[in-house]
Amino acid sequence: MSTAKRNPPFRAEHCGSLLRPEALIQKRYDVAAGKAPASELVPLEDKSIEEVVKLQKDCGLHIVSSGEYARHMFWGTFFEELNGMKELQLGVLKGYDASMFRDYAPDVKSFMEAKEIPNAVTVCVGKISHPGHSSYQREVDIMKKLIPENEWKNIKITMISPSWYHFRYRAGRAYPKEVYTNDEEYFADVAKAYQEELKFLHEQGIRNIQIDDPNLAYFCSKTMLEGWAADNGNDKTADEMFDAYVKFYNKCFERPDDMHLGIHLCRGNYVGSRHFSEGAYDIIAKELFQNLNVDTYYLEYDTPRAGGFEPLANLPKKKNVVLGVITSKFPELEDKDEMVARINQGADFIAQGSDQSREEALQRVSVSPQCGFASHAEGNALGYDDMRKKLQLVRSIADQVWPGQP
């Protein structure tokens, strides 16, 4: 396969977020605290993104990410900048309190047990619509300046999942009843906003989108499912809600034919290398792989918490999977030969489900770290050089499994 013509996903991938320089983290906090003017942040972001783009190229990667350096958290500001959404501080909320959250949602449960209820929350306060500009414009502009136009299609823009500010709230609490009477009305307006965003990014030359989605993976969690079943306020079973999300996402993901869209099912990636949920993909695999309108699945497979490769037998022939067998959470390097063996093992299950050979199945497989290195500002429990070695290992594994392919 020609290196020049291959489109995403590439054989050597990563999930978008990269460790931020300490100076950038501190400057953003100083600006937020009023200790430094916002004008000092912009040139530092520019410089940091230029350096991290060079890092990716030096590691032999063809995917190009900003490292998410122009944002503080992985979810960015897409919902925050939509008309009808408002970011509020929990301490001054009127009519909102911790009871609005599903306390059995894995991340919410973890925060509450640690008495770390998030100090800010974004809620729907009016009819939702796209603002007519993109909150990713700055990332797009910076990266387009750093690479030639024929590589713009390699730029990866990461977006938060459509259910981010729906799943975490109890039934009926994601929007005021005087604004939306049911989920379907809310979903319809959110979907239009996603469609407009994807259209805008496409017009900017972007062809590579990754949706970061912790919520769908939560439906693999036994404790979450038990909590859902015990919640008398739910008007849908967990299976019905998962099905509704798939239909909702498919409307959101309507896009031009030449735009690659992948989805990363995240198990949690919080400060101190914490994760939030566990559970094999088995119970959602058929619906996820066969009915969700995405091109590629970025799956976490760095530890047994995500189960085995058996669910990959459900992957349709026209879809891809990126196996996240390298951990982004800790500095210890994985054994290359063991990781190559795991890639082949995953391909064997894909081949079995598709009636293909391993070699044929491998053409729909890539390798990456299981998640980003810094979904939240401070990042995981490893250093910048550790991250570099992890990315180089990903490249080395890809070179062995797929010689000559990007």
Q: Where are the domains of the chain?
A: 22-401
Please report, rounded to a whole number, the percentage of residues in the chain having pLDDT higher than 90. 77
**Residue 4: is its pLDDT beyond 50?**
no
Tell me the pLDDT tens digit for each residue of 370-383.
999 987 778 788 99
Provide the pLDDT confidence category of residue 2 given band limits of 50, 70 and 90.
very low
22-401 — its CATH code?
3.20.20.210
The pLDDT value recorded for residue 3 is 37
Please answer whether residues 159 and 259 qualify as being in contact, where contact means their C-beta atoms are separated by less than 8 angstroms.
Answer: no
Give which of 194, 10, 146, 169 is closest to 99, Cα–Cα.
169
Tell me the pLDDT tens digit for each residue of 147-169.
999 999 999 999 999 999 999 89
Provide the pLDDT confidence category of residue 195 given band limits of 50, 70 and 90.
very high
Lowest mean pLDDT among 55-69, 215-229, 269-283: 269-283
Mean pLDDT of the 177-195 span: 98
Mean pLDDT of the 1-28 span: 83
Give which of 249, 289, 278, 282 is closest to 370, Cα–Cα.
278
For 105, which DSSP code? S
Mean pLDDT of the 260-267 span: 93
Provide the pLDDT confidence category of residue 353 given band limits of 50, 70 and 90.
very high
List the alpha helices (DSSP H) in 263-308.
282-291
Residues 6 or more apart whose CB falls under 8 angstroms from that of 216 comprise 161, 163, 242, 245, 263, 265, 284, 288
The pLDDT value recorded for residue 335 is 97
Give which of 7, 5, 2, 11 is closest to 322, Cα–Cα.
11
The pLDDT value recorded for residue 307 is 83
CA 198 remoteness from chain centre: 16
Mean pLDDT of the chain: 90
The pLDDT value recorded for residue 324 is 96
Tell me the pLDDT tens digit for each residue of 381-403.
899 999 999 999 999 999 999 99
**Residue 1: is its pLDDT beyond 60?**
no
Of residues 98 and 205, the one with the higher pLDDT is: 205
